[in-house]
Amino acid sequence: MYNGPGFRALVPRYPPGPALTADAVWLDRGRVLLVRRGRPPFRGRWALPGGFVELRETVEEAVERELLEETGLRGRAAGLVGVYSGPDRDPRKPTTTVAFFIRGRAGRPTPGDDAAGAAWVPLAAARRLAFDHGEILADALRQLRRRGGPVGWARPRSSAAPTRDRGLRASR
């Protein structure tokens, strides 16, 4: 990328746009992986693991990095849940997030970075999440019920449709 003499004159001036974040939706056996926020906004509330995308990083790399930093677990982006861009979704500033389904070996999470806690929380108990993470989780569950799961996920063995109470299992 050119950044020599006259560079600033070549770059148009735009008003600051929204920040870009990536969030992880990892479901396993009727549970969702959540972190307890250690900083404002929403200090003390449960949230999906995630955070800001760094320069020269893809959103997929960002969600996998944030997942590792906040929970100590390694996973990979396995499908798109959605893009969320409500202007008031983050009280700090306008923020757009890209939410991904995560696939990996579900282990015991260890909180790190800015997370005060990390745990596998039963879906029925995943309420009053920070930001718009309740909406993101609801959208993920709707997608799983409608499609039988994203690529790489196995349907429960029962012939009944999956529900929040029965949960979903990641194939291994």
d(CA 53, CA 14) in angstroms, rounded, equals 20
Query: Minimal CA–CA distance to 24: which of 16, 15, 32?
Result: 32
Within-domain flag for 172? no
Domain that holds residue 88: 17-150
Is 1 contained in some domain?
Answer: no
Residue 169 located in a structural domain = no
pLDDT recorded at residue 159 = 39
- pLDDT tens digit at each of 172 positions of the chain: 555 665 555 556 767 889 999 999 999 999 999 999 999 999 999 999 999 999 999 999 999 999 999 999 999 999 999 999 999 999 999 999 999 999 999 999 999 988 999 999 999 999 999 999 999 999 999 999 998 765 445 444 443 443 333 333 333 3
Note the pLDDT of residue 6.
57
Whole-prediction pTM: 0.79
CA gap 24, 33 in Å, rounded: 8
Asked if residue 79 belongs to a domain, the reply is: yes
Token code pair at residue 129: 């999440």
Q: What CATH code is carried by the domain that includes residue 35?
A: 3.90.79.10
Overall number of domains in the chain: 1
Q: Is residue 30 part of a domain?
A: yes
**Is 31 inside any structural domain?**
yes
Q: Are 78 and 152 in contact (CB under 8 A)?
A: yes
| Closest by CA position to 62, among listed 54, 72, 73, 71 | 54
